[in-house]
Amino acid sequence: MDRSVQKVTVYRVVCIILLIILVLLFMFPLYWMITSSFKNGPAINANPPIWFPGAEHRTLDNYHTIMQRPIWRWLFNTVFICGTSMLFTCIASTMGGYALAKKKFTGRKLLFSLFVAAMALPKQVILIPLLKQMAFMKLSNTLWGVILPTVGWPFGVFLMKQFSETVPDEMLEAAKIDGANETRTFTQIVLPLVKPGIGALAIFTFISTWNDYFLQLIMLNESRVQTLSLGIAKTMAEFNINMGPLIAGAVLSAVPILTVFLIFQKYFTRGITMGAVKG
Amino acid sequence: MQKSIDISGQLRASRRRENIAGYVFMTPALLFFVGFVIFPMGMCLVTSFFNYTMTDFTFIGIQNYVEAFNSPIFRRAFMNTLRIVVVSVPTVCLFSLWVASVTYDMNDRYTSFFRITFYLPVVMGSVAIAVVWKLILRKDDGILTTVLQMLGLNLQPRFGWLGSPSTALWFIITILFTTSIGQPIVLYISALANMDHSLVEAANVDGATKMQTFWRIKWPQIMPTTLYILVITTINSFQCFALIELLTSGGPNHSTDTIMYYIYKVSLDAPYRYGYGSAMGVLLAIIIAIFSAIQFKYAQTDNG
């Protein structure tokens, strides 16, 4: 008995040491990106590498150079796309999820299967037809070209159906008996109960929309409508030799979303795990 | 007691109310879903039977599919995609299960620290990831090459890590791995934490070894999560696109072409062959569906 306890502990210590090494490896790209963005040209790819840049290697030039680009415009576009998609997704999904979970309308089962099936299909294969559709709707090169398909993606409805299942039927019955109409039942009873779900969905949509590079790439061709990450990606070829400004751009594109993630990560985690239940 | 109420009429009225309310609540979601998911899916299927370019739109039957099957580039892209899937799906699953099983019963603060760390690469976004790896893997003076040189290892191939067919795809797989394990770890941690622990304790009392407890008690309980992770990792690996577009553009010599990247190239580079691209998109969807079905089948028989 004593021995087995000790063995478990040794095993655990080894695991934790291994884990810490892995964490360091995983953090390294982030560390390298941030420190490199403050290094001057020769220091970035110095041999031997400069692990901790001293004052003589430090500069803000990379940021000055990349700020010549319409960074603020790109940031605005990104936030607008993510914010609007988030808002619409939450409204449509909360209503739809509630209906699928609690309203016994004809065709409910069929609709739900359709939503789930669509979720299992690769999202990206529909992007080419979407591009033609947006051109037809005169929405090419507009932020709506990214927003509308994002809102249409069925994950939100699926997630909110899961959350709405937890609303007790008795409460809905009681509201009905008290003479509350549909709108009142929804806003006064359902909404407060599924609020945590909406929070999870909101943050999940915001982050995944921010990082949906492919959709942005095919929909947004002009600099004035581009997003932060897309705009930075387009400068890649230009800063091939001196990567400094490009790295600074990468930092600028990652910092806002990392901040959002760190603040709301609890809700975010809940969104991911709820989506998987009975997935 | 008014027995004279027409009960069936009342029932019908209430059902009608439910129908109306149901569809009213569904309307916004349905509008977006049908308009921007179902409709383009249908269009994808339809255009796959057409020779559809900027100037042409003629029905050619299954000609696009025949061409895809006979194209060596498509076959190569398919094999590359398959290689990515076959390598990354099991490694992602096993690795994330290991991380989760080491961390799930720690103090909450530590658990969320590890969870967040492994999630960071996902949140950073493909572009930032691609930029930093481009920097790390730079030919001749990138940090990977210089550190290896300091250790006396001149391993870098002549055209650089990303410029040589022998290494490029492996680095893509590695980078993809770092951006793929975040979600599985979160899912496994929550699955392990929500397990029925009384069974584990009972097994311990009965003197089961750690291995036995894991395979007999824990594994069946986290099977649904494993299945979900298998499916989403497979879908993600099949759709590997952004890293390729940003890091190698399918090169060198098509050695990192994936189906998704090839579809993009065919459809959005001159001569803009949307029909051919759509046909390959349909094929990709079918392949993914087959893979998911196999995983479901396998996981279920394994369980029962």
Looking at the complex, report in whole angstroms how far the Cα of residue A35 sits from the nearest Cα belonging to chain B.
Answer: 11
Segments of chain B scoring below 70 in pLDDT? 1-6, 299-304
Nearest residue on chain B to A260, alpha-carbon basis? B123
CB contact under 8 Å between A26 and B99, yes or no, is no
d(CA B152, CA A83): 51
Backbone angles phi, psi at A96, to 5 degrees: -65, -45
DSSP 8-state assignment for residue B56: -
In contact, B48 and A137? CB cutoff 8 Å: no
Percent of chain A with pLDDT over 70: 95
**CA pair distance A93, A211, nearest whole angstrom:** 20
Q: What mean pLDDT is predicted for residues A139-148? A: 94
Question: Which chain A residue lies closest to B125 (C-alpha atoms)?
Answer: A211
- Residue A259 to residues A23, A40, A203, B26, Cα–Cα distance (Å): 19, 26, 12, 34
Question: Within this chain, do residues A80 and A131 fall inside the same structural domain, yes or no?
Answer: yes
- Per the CB < 8 Å rule, is B127 touching A253? yes
Name the domain count of chain B.
Answer: 1
Q: Which residues of B161-187 are buried (b: 16+ CB within 10 A; e: fewer)?
A: bbbbeebbbebbbebbbbbbbbbbbbb
- Domain shared by A242 and A111, yes or no: yes
- Looking at every residue in chain A, the average pLDDT score rounds to 88
Q: Which of B226, B122, B103, B247 is nearest to A26 (CA)?
A: B122
**B174 assigned to some structural domain:** no
Most confident of A87-96, A155-164, A192-201: A87-96
Residue from B10, B135, B248 to probe the interface with A (highest A Cβ count within 10 Å): B135
Q: Are residues A17 and A120 in the same domain?
A: no
* CB pairs < 8 Å spanning A and B: 266
Query: Could you give the CA distance from residue B118 to residue B177 in angstroms, rounded to a whole number?
Result: 11
Q: Bridge partners of B258?
A: none
CA distance B73 to B248: 16
ipTM over 0.90: no
Q: What was the pLDDT predicted at B303?
A: 47
Q: What pLDDT does residue A22 have? A: 93
- pLDDT reading at A124 higher than 80: no
Q: Does A122 sit within 8 Å of B125, measured CB to CB?
A: no
Sign of CA pseudo-dihedral B198, B200, B202, B205: negative
> Is the CB of B150 less than 8 angstroms away from the CB of A48?
yes
CATH of the domain at B265: 1.10.3720.10
A143: left (phi over 0), alpha (psi -120 to 50) or beta: alpha
Q: Which residue of A has its CA nearest to B225?
A: A276
**pLDDT band at A7; cut points 50, 70, 90:** low
CATH number for the domain harbouring residue A106: 1.10.3720.10
- For residue B151, give Cα distances in angstroms to A29, B135, B157, B170: 20, 20, 16, 22
Q: Express as a percent the part of chain A with pLDDT over 90.
A: 52
pLDDT computed for residue A279 by the predictor: 40
Both A89 and A40 in one domain: the answer is: no
Is the minimum CB–CB distance between A116 and chain B shorter than 8 Å?
A: no
Angle CA B182–B186–B188, to nearest 5? 115
> Residue B18: which of A88, A104, A125 has the nearest Cβ?
A104
Show Cβ contacts of residue A161 under 8 Å, excluding neighbours closer than 6 positions.
A96, A97, A98, A100, A101, A112
| B285 inside domain | yes
> Which of A103, A105, A213 shows the shortest C-beta gap to B242?
A213
Q: Is B37 in contact with A253 (Cβ distance < 8 A)? A: no
Shortest Cα–Cα distance, A240 to chain B (Å): 10
Segment among A37-51, A245-259, B37-51, B82-96 with least mean pLDDT? A37-51
> How many domains does the structure of chain A reveal?
2
Nearest CB partner across the interface for B29, out of A29, A48, A93: A93
Give the CA distances from residue A18 to residues A11, A12, B99, B118, B190, in Å, rounded to whole numbers and listed in that order: 11, 10, 10, 14, 22
Residues in A closer than 8 angstroms to B190, CB to CB, are: 269, 273
Looking at the fold, whether A137 and A188 belong to one and the same domain comes out as yes
Range of the domain at A250: 65-276
Nearest CA in chain B to A255: B124
Residue type for A24, please? L
The per-residue pLDDT for range B210-265, each reduced to its tens digit, is: 788 888 888 888 888 888 898 889 888 888 888 999 999 888 888 899 998 999 99
Residue A277 is given by DSSP the state T
Find residues 213-232 of chain A whose CB sits inside 8 Å of chain B: 213-214, 217-218, 229-230, 232
Q: Is residue B27 part of a domain?
A: no
- Confidence (pLDDT) at A147: 96
Specify whether A18 is located in the same domain as A79.
no
Q: Comparing C-alpha atoms, which of B95, B80, B246 is closest to residue B173?
A: B80
- What single DSSP character describes residue A124? G
Answer yes or no: do A150 and A213 share one domain.
yes
Q: How far is A93 from chain B (nearest CA, A)?
A: 6
A257 touches chain B (CB under 8 A): yes
Residues A184 and A94 in one domain: yes
Pair of tokens at residue A118: 């669509």
B151 falls within a domain: no
Mean pLDDT of A111-118: 88
> Rounded distance, CA B217 to CA B199, Å?
7
Q: How much is the pLDDT for B232?
A: 87
Locate B280 and state its tokens. Answer: 């390959």
Work out the angle at residue A29's Cα, subtended by the Cα atoms of residues A26 and A33, and round it to the nearest 5 degrees.
150
Non-local (6+) Cβ contacts of A35 within 8 A are: A52, A53
Q: Are A83 and A211 in the same domain?
A: yes
Contact B117, A27 (CB under 8 A): yes
- State residue B213 phi and psi, 5-degree precision: -60, -40
What DSSP string describes B231-257? HHHHHHHHT--HHHHHHTTT-STTTT-
Last residue in a domain, options A17, A37, A59: A59
Residue A8: what pLDDT? 65
- Within a 10 A sphere around the Cβ of A112, how many other Cβ atoms? 17
Strands B50-52 and B57-59: antiparallel
Is B127:B134 a contact under the CB 8 Å cutoff? no
Q: Are residues A197 and A248 in the same domain?
A: yes
Residue-level pLDDT at A64? 93
**CB-based contact, A247 to chain B, within 8 Å:** yes
Range of the domain at B83: 67-119+181-303
- CB atoms B143 and A95 under 8 Å: no
Asked whether the beta carbons of residue A258 and residue B99 sit closer than 8 angstroms, the reply is: no
